[in-house]
Structure 1
Amino acid sequence: MMRIPPYYRQAGWQRFFSGIIIGMIIGWFFFIYQFGSIQEKLVTEIKMQQAIIKDQKRDIEVLRSDKDELNKENQKKLTVQEVKVYFKNDKELKLSELSLYELRSQIENELTPVKNKNIEAVANARELLYQTIQNKTYTVNEKRYHVIVKELHLYTTLEIFVEIRLAD
């Protein structure tokens, strides 16, 4: 049978083994302390970042809602800035450029009250615009014309496409 050498009886070996065990215990406590302090720093950093993210998400939500409200208000406040009249059958009637210009300016003069009006209000009064333009007789170079509205495009520019007819 084999026997373990009796090192536990010698004082030098006892000090060596006890030093190793005490060193391991001290090292373990040092490791636990360092690990705990690092973890504590990381946890506080994560908490701070989560708080910052939460604040930024709230700020983003506020800015988005403000932007949406401003867009809705601006959409409501959009106004007609310009009126353009286009003729669909000007080539067929063979009117001169001056006659077309005079007719266009007369139609645009009829629509001057629409300028700087809210687009929504103008859109609601679209039938009134049709009647205003179509029920009037326009006189150009001693000839009388009626126009029929074929298309109407409404945004910041009111574009009206009309067909010219000779009045009876």
Structure 2
Amino acid sequence: MRIPPLYNDKSWQRFFAGIILGMLIGWLFFLYHFGMVHEKLILELNDKKSMIEKHERTIDILRQDQDEQSQENQDKLKVQEIKVEFLNEEEVNLSEMTIHDLRGAIETELEQIRNRQIEAVAASRDLLEKAVENKIYRVGGDKQYQLKIEKFILHTTLELFVRIEPASLDRG
């Protein structure tokens, strides 16, 4: 058995030349499209990188702003004002001058906590309550009063709701 000499036939030569030429054109087409897609992906990747860098810079700026605002808010979180309200003002039947003197004495007693951090004041709350409650306030010469704190509200304003009681004689 022998192989027929088809390599001499022009139709077979054209067929094989067409296959080789088609493979070359297909390969060139593949390289062209692969290059275009690769270039498009590189451009897209560079755009994404620049966008990420831009967002990272924005995040850094926002973090700095947030830190500055946090510091400002922390500075604002100080006791700025002291308010004293008497719960039994009408029941005790004291004059306006006596009430004013008592309020002034309490505010003078608590003046040291003005412009201090709220956290520090909250930590020493028991000490402040005892300082107000254990002191006997002398108003108008011979009259003595003792105060009992009913409510203690702490924010930028320290609000004390106090009950006025006559001072007991055995404590004096």
Structure 2 length-normalised TM: 0.64
User: 1:120 is matched by which residue type in structure 2?
Assistant: Q
Aligned position for 2:90: 96
Aligned position for 1:137: 138
Counterpart Cα distance in 1 of 2:95 and 2:41: 77
Query: Which sections of structure 1, spanning at least 5 residues, go unmatched?
Result: none
Are the equivalent residues in 1 in contact too, given 2:84–2:159 (CA < 8 A)? yes
Counterpart Cα distance in 1 of 2:99 and 2:18: 107
Aligned position for 1:164: 164
Counterpart Cα distance in 1 of 2:70 and 2:59: 16
Are the equivalent residues in 2 in contact too, given 1:87–1:161 (CA < 8 A)? yes
Q: Secondary structure at the match of 1:137?
A: strand
Are the equivalent residues in 1 in contact too, given 2:137–2:146 (CA < 8 A)? yes
Structure 1 length-normalised TM: 0.65
Are the equivalent residues in 2 in contact too, given 1:119–1:155 (CA < 8 A)? no
Counterpart Cα distance in 2 of 1:22 and 1:105: 109
Are the equivalent residues in 1 in contact too, given 2:151–2:161 (CA < 8 A)? yes
Aligned position for 2:41: 42
- CA RMSD of superposed structures (Å): 4.1
Counterpart Cα distance in 2 of 1:101 and 1:72: 45
Closer, same or farther: CA 39–107 of 1 in aligned 2, 3 Å? farther
Give 1:35 deviation, angstroms. Answer: 0.8
Closer, same or farther: CA 146–83 of 1 in aligned 2, 3 Å? same
Counterpart Cα distance in 2 of 1:105 and 1:119: 25
Q: Deviation digits for residues 109-167 of structure 1, max 9, x if unmatched? A: 564996xx63539949987898689464356xxx6533245764431221224342214
User: 1:118 is matched by which residue type in structure 2?
Assistant: N
Give 1:5 deviation, angstroms. Answer: 3.7
Aligned position for 2:56: 57
Work out the percentage of aligned pairs sharing the same amino acid.
41
Q: Secondary structure at the match of 1:30?
A: helix
Closer, same or farther: CA 16–152 of 1 in aligned 2, 3 Å? same
Are the equivalent residues in 2 in contact too, given 1:80–1:156 (CA < 8 A)? yes
User: 1:96 is matched by which residue type in structure 2?
Assistant: E
Q: Deviation digits for residues 77-116 of structure 1, max 9, x if unmatched? A: 345566443557x4xxxx63694895776555564996xx
Closer, same or farther: CA 12–34 of 1 in aligned 2, 3 Å? same
Counterpart Cα distance in 2 of 1:100 and 1:41: 87
Closer, same or farther: CA 38–45 of 1 in aligned 2, 3 Å? same
Counterpart Cα distance in 2 of 1:38 and 1:101: 91
Closer, same or farther: CA 74–104 of 1 in aligned 2, 3 Å? farther
Give 1:27 deviation, angstroms. Answer: 1.0
Query: Which sections of structure 2, spanning at least 5 residues, go unmatched?
Result: none
Give 1:12 deviation, angstroms. Answer: 2.2
Aligned position for 1:18: 17
